[in-house]
Amino acid sequence: MSIFTGAGVAIVTPMKPDGEVNFEKLGELIEYQIAHKTDCIIICGTTGESSTLSHEEHLACIKYAVEKTAGRIPVVAGTGSNCTETAIYLSKEAEKYGVDGVLLVTPYYNKATQNGLFEHFTTIAKEINVPIILYNVPSRTGCNISPETAVRIAKAAKNVVGIKEASGNIGQVAKLARLADGLLDIYSGNDDQIVPVLSLGGKGVISVLSNIAPEKAHNIVASYLDGDVKTSLKLQLEALDVIDALFCEVNPIPVKAALNMMGKEVGGLRRPLTEMEEANQEKLKKAMTEYGIEVK
């Protein structure tokens, strides 16, 4: 049984003017997502600025998301770290709060070997009972989970049930799908590759686009899985310009800017991330407007 099928939102973490987490706004965003057909809340991932949250803030966001969502849709918590013991701690706490699964990013900076990745993920898996989604994003971590290693981990740890594939290498995803043979649920980690990943048997996407267009992201997946590949492809292609704009600066700079343009008032970013450059803001506004998103 998959943790979720469809489009899960890699939700932002709203901030107050003083830089503190804005839980009231987080609640509003969660309600907005649920009302607009998002299939899962992914809290405290890359888009949620997990790397600059304290452990206390990180866990408070996870606990809040579980309580606010109240079982209406699944909640997956980002609990990965480049320190195995820290990832175990965060994952065990998240499990206590009642998350439906955890998302574990590859250890960043350390650049573990494939054997090191196997040890890291299987060690964490032994300490918790909730389902685990591996998160492969070599552009940000400097570390790639090979298809062979992903399958090796899943065979050794039965609660490793999925992988968010954000390598951008569709050939690697194809090889993973062949080797896994249904052992791992594959989610696209790139909004511009939803349909290609679905065509390889993927279950959906963990999406940045869903922050600003949850129903449209949901419909890309739902149409495909309903057998309407033509509509799914049309929706994917229509979204390409706004997806490009959402990644013209490092995530989550543009998506937070976009939400603020929509009047969502999610606040600023924690350093070292800085506000979006003016020229890129104009590019983003244009793409959003052409995509049918109202900019205030």
Collect the ranges in the chain with pLDDT lower than 50. none
State whether residue 159 is helix, strand or coil: coil
Burial per residue of 166-183, b for 16 or more beta-carbon CB atoms within 10 angstroms, e otherwise: bbeebebbbbbbebbeee
Query: Which member of 25, 63, 164, 216 is catalytic?
Result: 164
Spatial distance between the Cα atoms of 158 and 179, rounded to a whole number of angstroms: 16
Supply the pLDDT for residue 207.
98
> Which domains can be identified in the chain, with CATH numbers?
6-247 (3.20.20.70)
**135 carries an active-site annotation:** yes
Supply the pLDDT for residue 1.
74
For the segment 231-270, what is each residue's pLDDT rounded down to a tens digit?
A: 999 999 999 999 999 999 999 999 999 999 999 999 999 9
Query: Which member of 68, 135, 187, 264 is catalytic?
Result: 135
SS3 readout for 34-45 = HHCCCCEEEECC
Residue 63: φ, ψ to 5°: -60, -45
